[in-house]
Amino acid sequence: MAVLVSGASIAGLSLAYWLDRFGFEVTVVERAPALRVSGSPIDIRGDALGVAAEMGIRDAIHDQRVSTSGRDAFTTWVDSLGQPIAVLPNEYATDSPDDIEIARDNLIAILHDAIGSGVEFVYNDSIETVVDTGRVVEVALASGRSARYDHVVGADGIHSTVREAIFGPEHQYRKHLDTYTALVDLPLGSGTAGESVTFSAPGKMFCINDYGHRTIGFMAARTPEVEYDNRDLADQKRVLTGLLAGESGWRSEFLLESIAETDRLYFDSVSQVHMPGWSRGRVALIGDAAHAASLFSGRGTSLAMIGAHHLATELAAAPSEHTEAFGRYEQHMRPRVATAQEGVSEARDFLVPATESQLQARNQRFAVDAAH
């Protein structure tokens, strides 16, 4: 059976691994010219650690984990002069001491290396049309290549092309949480050694995370949805600098300069995806394409790995009964997704308070004096 997977990130790579292992013929199409390796460290939690063990990559993940255990706090909030005013203790951001935090690029490389040589990767291409005839799925790629598959799986993130083609326009399913985030690599050592430091202004967040081997700027701004081209770096920079402009406290100007200079920026809406069903006919969705919980949940990566495992397992168990297989995959995942999607607005208000009074309330709750 031939399966086309759209998207070569956490969900798509995990699915390719499992489908290949179960004997499917797998093609992965990725719109970017290569694996997209930017992003800050991400968490692997709960059952995703068991999935990683079954994939034989748990030790590699463990060996390459980011060590934040020596950190005094998850982050320290500072005032405009850089003086500490509040501290978020580590335990607010973790479920269990077994959680593993790993650089996103390292996880992508580990997943990719685990995949058998039989999987075909097509970069710099994207699904243009997808037609489910009932017996096969006919796909044409933007490059002009066309082929038929038994199944197509959209693992192509919150702006999924497969979802748009089969289930309808993005605005029906994606809910913008009134926030945009950005991540940018900074010169090594430009932060506070081993620590995370954050400056907040109403509706704006400027954070520098030092992981020893890497220093990452993390910014966020509260705003309703903005029109821009999410594939155009210059347009992303224009919107982001516009959203963060007018702030000069702490190291905000340094971060704004870093945005102007970078050629590798992650910038996107903080969104959740809510859909009544994750499959239609021979086409299914996994990961953020189906059920994004948002980056504030800290669970998107784990959900993507667990979902890929369930989908492949169910399809392998009943290849000729894909409707039932997709249904069982969804049943397994729904409760986890509901849990991950809950409480995200509170996390957002806490990390990126919209108003001065929300900001003061948070700072008082975690005031440096109160923490000691």
Ligand X SMILES: Cc1cc2nc3c(=O)[nH]c(=O)nc-3n(C[C@H](O)[C@H](O)[C@H](O)COP(=O)(O)OP(=O)(O)OC[C@H]3O[C@@H](n4cnc5c(N)ncnc54)[C@H](O)[C@@H]3O)c2cc1C
Q: Identify the bridge partners of residue 207 per DSSP, sorted by sequence position.
A: 198, 218
Region 50-89 residues binding ligand X, contact defined as CB under 6 A: none
Q: Does 288 bind ligand X (CB under 6 A)?
A: yes
Span from 34-42, 271-279, 318-326, 360-368 in contact with ligand X (CB under 6 A): 34-42
Q: Does 104 bind ligand X (CB under 6 A)?
A: yes
- Name the 3-class secondary structure at 184: strand
Q: Which two tokens stand for residue 88?
A: 């978020």
> Binder to ligand X among 178, 300, 326, 359 (CB under 6 A)?
300
Residue the block writes with tokens 């490389």: 109
> Binder to ligand X among 3, 4, 5, 12 (CB under 6 A)?
12
Handedness of CA 237, 273, 119, 45 (dihedral sign): positive
Q: What are phi and psi of 182, to 5 degrees?
A: -145, 145
Closest CB 182 distance from ligand X, rounded Å: 10
β 215-222/204-210 pair status: antiparallel
Region 230-269 residues binding ligand X, contact defined as CB under 6 A: 266
By C-beta, is 86 or 107 nearer to ligand X?
107
Phi-psi region of 23 (alpha: psi -120 to 50; beta: other; left: phi over 0): left
- Comparing every residue's Cβ against ligand X, the nearest one is 287
> Binder to ligand X among 3, 18, 27, 39 (CB under 6 A)?
39
Q: From CA 170, how far away is CA 161, in angstroms rounded?
A: 9
Half-sphere exposure of 247 (CA within 13 A, CB side): 28
> Binder to ligand X among 3, 4, 5, 9 (CB under 6 A)?
9
Q: From CA 112, how far away is CA 12, in angstroms rounded?
A: 10
Q: Does 45 bind ligand X (CB under 6 A)?
A: no
β 174-186/265-273 pair status: antiparallel
> Measured over all CA atoms, what is the biggest interatomic distance in the chain, rounded to whole angstroms?
66
By C-beta, is 161 or 179 nearer to ligand X?
161
> Binder to ligand X among 3, 5, 6, 86 (CB under 6 A)?
6
Q: What are phi and psi of 5, to 5 degrees?
A: -110, 125
By C-beta, is 76 or 161 nearer to ligand X?
161
Span from 87-95, 296-304, 338-346, 359-367 in contact with ligand X (CB under 6 A): 296-304
Span from 246-254, 283-291, 309-317, 361-369 in contact with ligand X (CB under 6 A): 283-291
Span from 27-35, 325-333, 336-344, 345-353 in contact with ligand X (CB under 6 A): 27-35
> Binder to ligand X among 29, 73, 177, 283 (CB under 6 A)?
29
Closest CB 292 distance from ligand X, rounded Å: 6
Q: Identify the bridge partners of residue 284 per DSSP, sorted by sequence position.
A: 153, 279
- Is residue 217 within 8 Å of 154, Cβ to Cβ? no
Closest CB 86 distance from ligand X, rounded Å: 23
Q: Does 177 bind ligand X (CB under 6 A)?
A: no
- Is residue 61 within 8 Å of 52, Cβ to Cβ? yes
Q: Does 126 bind ligand X (CB under 6 A)?
A: yes
132-171 footprint of ligand X as x/- string (CB under 6 A): -----------------------xxx---x----------
Region 178-237 residues binding ligand X, contact defined as CB under 6 A: 183
By C-beta, is 32 or 367 nearer to ligand X?
32
Q: Residue count at the site for ligand X (CB under 6 A)?
A: 32
Q: Does 27 bind ligand X (CB under 6 A)?
A: no
Closest CB 79 distance from ligand X, rounded Å: 26
Residue ranges with strand state E in 23-173: 25-30, 42-44, 75-78, 84-88, 100-102, 120-123, 127-132, 137-141, 146-149, 151-154
- Name the 3-class secondary structure at 149: strand
| Interhelix angle 300-317/322-341, nearest 10 degrees | 160
The burial class, CB within 10 Å (0-12 / 13-18 / 19+), for 162 is buried
C-alpha dihedral (228, 229, 230, 231), degrees to nearest 10? -160
Handedness of CA 237, 242, 246, 247 (dihedral sign): negative
> Binder to ligand X among 103, 137, 221, 295 (CB under 6 A)?
295
Residues that bind ligand X (CB under 6 A): 6-12, 29-32, 36, 38-40, 42, 104, 126-127, 155-157, 161, 183, 266, 287-289, 295, 300-301, 304
